[in-house]
Amino acid sequence: MAENDPATISSAEFFDRAHARLNFDIPAGLTDPNQIPESGDRGTDRMLEILSREQPIRPAAVLIPVIDRPQPTVLLTQRSAHLNEHAGQISFPGGKIDKADASPLDAALREACEEVGLAREFIDPIGYLDLYGTSFGFRILPTVARVKPGFTLRISASEVDDAFEVPLAFLMNPANHQLHSKEFRGMERFFYAMPYGERYIWGATAGILRVLYERIFTP
């Protein structure tokens, strides 16, 4: 087996590697506008630096639910078409961190329960991924988690139109990571897209999945 081949890595190997590489240290940049999340793209880093001076940052948390099947999958949602922000887009369960949330992890678990009814008893949190900044001012801290099969989802129609699973091997295959660009105030910045059948996974969701790939499958 190729050590870093997402198509051949077992579910147990993925979770073991995630446990070894992730932790629950909260980065200062989640709430400190002077700490800019690094994206690896010069244009995006410059955009985040500019936005941090112009608008309040918006701390948020999402759950990356990796379902422990013989061939592991990732649970994703399609946001409701009537929402004010990111309507109809493919997302992870998650949202803004409320004052009542004890931690970003607590916020991610709460949102997963509210949006799709994913019960905490099925979720084994592993650790935080890198902080991810967006053009809307969000600072997103993703929690990678192992999810035991056997759960029953209850979709909240006010927030989510659908929930579905995508094979982890597909999402972690760099051949499926399309790189696109757009302009921000005269600067070119790049973003990822991972089309899967009729689902168009792009923006922050694809960007976070790319970070997961880099943390788990690259030396």
Chunked into runs of 10 residues, the chain (219 residues) has average pLDDT values of 69 94 97 91 89 91 96 92 62 95 98 96 98 92 97 90 94 95 86 94 95 92
- Report d(CA 50, CA 46) in Å as an integer: 6
Which pLDDT belongs to residue 1?
39
Tokens 């309040």 correspond to 56
Token pair of 57, please?
């940052």
What is the set of domains in the chain, with CATH numbers?
11-217 (3.90.79.10)
C-beta separation of 138 from 60 below 8 A: yes
Other residues' Cβ atoms within 10 Å of the Cβ of residue 93: 26
What's the predicted TM-score (pTM) here?
0.93
Backbone angles phi, psi at 214, to 5 degrees: -65, -35
**How far from 133 is each of 66, 82, 114, 140, 205, CA to CA, in Å?**
22, 24, 24, 6, 11
Which pLDDT belongs to residue 158?
84
- Report d(CA 39, CA 208) in Å as an integer: 10
